[in-house]
Amino acid sequence: MKKLRNNNKAFALVETLIGALFVVAVFMVLFENYYPIVGKYERYENYDDLESKYIVHYLRQMIEADPNKSSIINKIGSTGYYLFGATVQDGDITTTATPNELCTLLSLQGSFNNKQYCQNFIDEAKITKIFLSDYNTTTFKNDVKKHTLVSGSEEISRAFELYVDYMPTFKNSASSKSGYRRLIIEIKHENNDSSKEGTDYYTYANIEVF
């Protein structure tokens, strides 16, 4: 009888250990799968969020609908990317002392000043960076990572660097997207959220341009 009681105790101990191992295994699976999802949604908060996607979409529409589109696309040249910076006063843009270079390349279509509309949109949306890259962003990503950008290296923030690192290279689909480029923007926001550090914060988005 004593031996039977000892066997029951041993069996109960084994059951407890198996149950504990099962619970630990469940928590490990949850941990390994839950936290990457949380991190993914945290990135979505600043990376390719809906508002930023709409902004970059409207900017793309201005480029694709403009007769001078080729002069904008050709800015990429052999480097694989181009930063549209502030430029000297353009005679057709009257309200901004230093308009964005992208807007100065747009055309005047009859009575509609596409240049001024572009600049007003950039000011209103608070777009602070506009890059145009080859569809395959490998060169752009590598140069941002190594801080060897042909232009604008001194303006690259750690936040922008992290976003570019998060971006895909689109290398596998580049051959089927011949003639396409990628438009990459940075948008400045005033900080109204106490959970975010600093006075201002930035969001980012990219989209294909044909």
Clarify whether residues 63 and 140 are in a common domain: yes
Clarify whether residues 27 and 119 are in a common domain: no
Paired tokens of 13: 């101990």
- Predicted pLDDT at 114: 82
Residue numbers of the domain that contains 39 = 1-46
- Predicted pLDDT at 200: 83
- List Cα–Cα distances, 133 to 82, 83, 156, 188, in angstroms: 6, 9, 16, 21
Clarify whether residues 30 and 97 are in a common domain: no
Q: pLDDT grade, residue 208 (50/70/90)? A: very high
DSSP string, 137-157: -HHHHHHHHHT--SS-GGG--
What is the pTM (predicted TM-score) of this model?
0.74
Is 50 exceeded by the pLDDT of residue 40? no
**Residues 176, 22: Cα–Cα separation, whole Å:** 48
Clarify whether residues 122 and 173 are in a common domain: yes
Clarify whether residues 16 and 53 are in a common domain: no
Is 70 exceeded by the pLDDT of residue 156? yes
Clarify whether residues 37 and 55 are in a common domain: no
87: which residues sit within 8 A by CB, 6+ positions away? 98, 99, 100, 101, 104
Paired tokens of 152: 């604008």
Is 50 exceeded by the pLDDT of residue 35? no
- Per DSSP (E only), the strands in the chain are 81-83, 108-109, 112-113, 127-134, 181-190, 200-209
- Predicted pLDDT at 39: 46
Clarify whether residues 73 and 142 are in a common domain: yes
Give the residue, 104 or 9, on which the prediction is more confident.
104
- Predicted pLDDT at 41: 46
- Predicted pLDDT at 193: 60
Clarify whether residues 41 and 68 are in a common domain: no
- Predicted pLDDT at 174: 78
- Predicted pLDDT at 45: 57
Tens of pLDDT, residue by residue over 102-142, are: 999 988 766 667 888 899 999 999 999 999 999 999 999 99
Clarify whether residues 144 and 175 are in a common domain: yes
Give residue 81's region: left, alpha or beta (phi > 0; psi -120 to 50). beta
List, as own/partner pairs, every contact residues 95-102 make where C-beta atoms lie below 8 angstroms and the sequence separation is at least 24, other chains included.
95/119, 95/120, 96/123, 100/127, 100/130, 102/63, 102/72, 102/130
126: which residues sit within 8 A by CB, 6+ positions away? 187, 188, 189
Clarify whether residues 92 and 24 are in a common domain: no
The number of distinct structural domains making up the chain is: 2
Tens of pLDDT, residue by residue over 163-185, are: 999 898 998 887 778 889 999 99
Nearest C-alpha neighbor of 72 from the set 183, 187, 186, 205:
183
Among candidate residues 25, 46, 67, the one where a domain is terminated: 46
- Does residue 100 contact residue 130 with C-beta atoms inside 8 Å? yes
Clarify whether residues 203 and 135 are in a common domain: yes
Clarify whether residues 91 and 176 are in a common domain: yes
Paired tokens of 209: 């341009």
Tens of pLDDT, residue by residue over 53-87, are: 999 999 999 999 898 999 999 999 888 999 998 87
Is 90 exceeded by the pLDDT of residue 154? no
